[in-house]
Amino acid sequence: MAEAKGLNKPVKLKSDLAAFLGKSELPRTEITKKLWDYIKENKLQTKTENGKAENAGKYIVADAKLLSIFKNTKSTSKSGKLTDLTNLKEGETINMMQMAAVVGANVE
């Protein structure tokens, strides 16, 4: 069997994400899937920035569990865009396009 590569290669999770997912290593694809499963199960999406959770839309509402993961995120993309969620508060939102930065900031 061939060794997993790229997005399917398991990566080591930082402590907050490992505690949230109950695993110390997972592929990025699985991390993203499990985060989205949690978001959908708990109806943590909204159509408006910092809006009330309504289970639909492109914004993700940070509950206490997600906040511990989101607050670890401070990164600059290849295009130079800064994603800084270190001052995010419970009930505030992030754009779903920021999920890649969140995952990247929580793996070693």
Confirm if 66 and 90 have CB atoms less than 8 A apart.
no
Tell whether domain 10-105 is in CATH 1.10.245.
Answer: yes
* Residue with tokens 């790229």, as numbered in its chain: 6
> How much is the pLDDT for 6?
75
Length of the chain counted residue by residue: 108
- Note the pLDDT tens digit of each residue in 25-61: 999 999 999 999 999 999 999 999 888 888 788 999 9
Q: Which residues pair with 10 in a beta bridge?
A: 27
- What integer pLDDT is reported at residue 1 of this predicted model? 58
Radius of gyration of the chain from Cα atoms?
Answer: 14
Residue range 1-32, pLDDT digits in tens? 567 777 789 999 999 999 999 999 999 999 99
Predicted TM-score (pTM) of the model is 0.88
